[in-house]
Amino acid sequence: MAALAAATLALSLTAGTTAQAAQPLDDPIPEQTIQSGLGLVLTQFATFPQSTPTPEPIDPRLMRRARINAIVELPDRSGRMAVPDLNGMLYLVRNGKPEAYLDVGTAFAPQFFSGRGLGQGFGYVAFHPDFARNGRFYTVHTELATSTTVTPDYAQSSTGYHGVITEWTAKDSSANTFRGTHREVLRIGFTGRVHGIQQIDFNSTARRGDRDYGLLYLAVGDGGQGATKTDPQNLAMPHGKILRIDPDGSNAGNGRYGIPNDNPFVSQAGALGEIYALGMRDPHRFSWDSGPGHRLFLGHIGEHTVEAVYDVRAGDNLGWSEREGSFVFDRTAANPCDRILPLPADDAEFGYTYPVAAYDHDPPADWDCSSDVGRAVSGGFVHRGRTLPELRGKYVFGDLVDGRVFYTEADEMRRGHALAPLHELMLFDDTGRRVVMPDLSGPGAPGDQNRVDLRFGRSAAGDLYLLSKANGKIWKVTDTKTFASGDVGNTRLRPRLDAKNWAPVTPALWQFSKKTATLAQAGQSRPGPRRPFEYAVLTDGPAFGAVEIEGKVRLDTPVEITNRDVIMVFGYRSDTEFYYVHLSSDNKIYPHNGIFVVNNADRLRIDDQWDGSRGAPPAITDSEYHKVRVVHLPSTGEIAVYVDGSKDPLMTATDTTFGSGRVGFGSFDNTGSLRNLRLTGTPATS
């Protein structure tokens, strides 16, 4: 134990020395999420009854319709799905209808506690893989420490709350209402009301005879103490760890469960044998990939900076609170804005495991960095199901606060390599309408309708589900849809770029040849709505309704000028009625690098990527030609912009202002060139 404490102290001192020498990082993960053209089609699956926390909450984030927290399929081939509500009820869902199976809150009243802290209450349920025969399943719930006389098996100082693992044995595993017995397996005391025991689960890839079969994994948070203490690094405590236990065993300290003899620290003096991995703040959700390696992926919620996904193996140390993600976390910094620093040169000596995918919080420039900007990862699943081939091999997860849904390719999530690219999936309802999660979870939700409280679930067959506490609904992923993938038509035009085929605003500023159209001098602002200063409209061929525009463009303004741009015009009806795509080296201000509509008023930005302070990644940053493809489908309003052959659109928008028009090229206030222009589409009828 003394050696362990000395090692922890040495680690802390080393991190502190590094923190003093390095400069804090304002944007530790500058890479932006890639907007995918792939989307999930969501069909409503179930709606749950209103529930109320105990005691009555004062935090509006707990005032939800139903605090449903997971959906898991019972391993008995019945097709029944189990859903725990943090406020106490365990439901079984059959044919989309929830039915009360077990009231966990009532079973442990009055000690049961769900009215303070986002994760407090009845948090999770895990069914033994042999449930059909032995009827056993496991739950985790919270109790207020002052309401019970039971002493925790392990506890932090000043314990305020207990996380309790309970084993239940159903007399009839096929029954839809629980009757049976229960026993306490493990009780852990936590100082704070956050970061308790999160998910508990069995390895979904383990089969009878495998050494992992029937072993229960517990994701145990740091009790809110890691930012100021070293509990997650202390191998004598379960806090900030993943534990691995055998519910059938009895060699644990309390005699109520077993410690597998192949756990990584089972033979280390002073260490808890239950520990599988350490160094965690809030290990929120984990799942096993049924693909090669049966990897365990963990969605880990960060402090105020990094949301991460880890490929966790036995004995791993994820670094908290010496590290947040793959960065030094300085617990001693006087200014909370200065806590994130680059890794030291000798970082490899510490042996930390770093994320395979991550994103940072990207707060607004005026944000108070001592407060929460509202980002938290919700771990998901690698899709290996027989249906939805477009998702196969993708790890689908999201942000539980704002409801964005992401994916990474599982084969790009590699330990010791660069972070896997992060793609944001689009969402559609079952009518094909483009939505975001608050559109689905907001109606009927009390409190903040923009807070989704997103969770993910998976059936035994690999079907994916999305849950929201906000309005107590679950949606099933029933299909995928690719944005702007409809038929544009088959009329093709490859115009010569001669001057006779173009109508410039100011002809004297242009140079035309058979292969190239060049805006040689920048235009000037004109009376009327704020819009691009100079462009030329293609007069050859028809005006188009649905259209795909392909060409190569070059920004001819020197690269030292950060606001350099060119534009692609489409849907052109008049000098004050058209769409344009702005392709720029800058993405930090409203007019740059986006999709706009001019409709007898100042240009209006309509692309999905603009967040109020930043748009899509800069389209072009050099002086070379780049391939640009613009797809416009007026019937749906879908607009997608692709650069350099990417399968993912750089920009997307949905707008139905103009249904047809001509195509053009130009620049807002710079110079540029176009060549290899090709159009494919449907000629306009009016």
In tens, the pLDDT along 581-630 reads 999 999 999 999 999 999 999 999 999 999 998 999 999 999 999 999 99
Using CA atoms, how far apart are residues 330 and 336, in angstroms rounded to an integer? 9
Distance of CA 386 to the CA centre of its chain: 24
> From residue 358, how far is each of 184, 533, 608 by CA, in Å?
36, 40, 21
CA angle 447, 450, 451 (to 5 degrees): 70
Give the DSSP H/E element, type plus range, for residue 7.
Answer: helix 2-21
> Residue 14: what pLDDT?
41
pLDDT band of 12, cuts 50, 70, 90: very low
Return the higher-pLDDT residue of 336 and 682.
682
- 344-353 tens-digit pLDDT: 999 999 999 9
| pLDDT of 146 above 90 | yes
Distance between CA 550 and CA 600 in Å, rounded? Answer: 27
C-beta atoms surrounding 624 within 10 Å:
9
Q: Which residue has the higher pLDDT, 686 or 157?
A: 157
| pTM of the predicted structure, to 2 decimals | 0.94
Output phi, psi for 662, to 5 deg. -95, 170
Q: Residues near 482 by Cβ (< 8 Å), separated by ≥ 6? A: 37, 38, 39, 390
Tens digits of residue pLDDT in 442-451: 999 999 999 9
pLDDT tens digits for range 193-207: 999 999 999 999 999
CA distances in angstroms from 79 to 76, 92, 93, 458, 460, listed in the order given: 8, 10, 9, 12, 9
Tens of pLDDT, residue by residue over 537-595, are: 999 999 999 999 999 999 999 999 989 999 999 999 999 999 999 999 999 999 999 99
pLDDT-derived band at 6 (thresholds 50, 70, 90) equals very low
The pLDDT value recorded for residue 169 is: 99
Helix (H, G, I), strand (E, B) or coil at 391: helix
pLDDT digits (tens, 9 = 90+) for 635-673: 999 999 999 999 999 999 999 999 999 999 999 999 999
| CA angle (321 as vertex; 343, 239 as ends), nearest 5 | 150
**pLDDT tens per residue, range 119-139:** 999 999 999 999 999 999 999
Q: What is the DSSP letter of 19?
A: H
Start-end of H helices in 358-453: 437-441
Respond yes or no on whether the N-terminal peptide bond of residue 30 is cis (omega within 30° of 0): no
- What HEC string does 303-372 produce? CCCEEEEEEECCCCECCCCCEECCEEECCCCCCHHHCEECCCCCHHHHCCCCCCEEEECCCCCCCCCCCC
User: Both tokens of residue 337?
Assistant: 């804005």
For 480-522, how does the pLDDT look when each residue is reduced to its tens digit (9 = 90+)? 999 999 999 999 999 999 999 999 999 999 999 999 999 999 9
Token couple for 110: 């009055």
How far, in Å, CA of 677 to CA of 190, rounded? 65
Domain residue ranges in the chain: 2-482, 491-683
Q: For tokens 């960065």, name the residue.
A: 327
Distance (Å, whole) CA 54 – CA 144: 11
2-482 is classed CATH 2.120.10.30: yes
Q: How many CA atoms lie within 13 A of 568 on its CB side?
A: 33
pLDDT confidence of residue 132: 99
Q: What is the pLDDT of residue 21?
A: 61
d(CA 7, CA 28): 28
Q: How far is CA 348 from the centre of its chain?
A: 28
**Euclidean distance between CA atoms 672 and 506, whole angstroms:** 15
Architecture label for domain 491-683: Sandwich (2.60)
pLDDT in tens, 273-318: 999 999 999 999 999 999 999 999 999 999 999 999 999 999 999 9
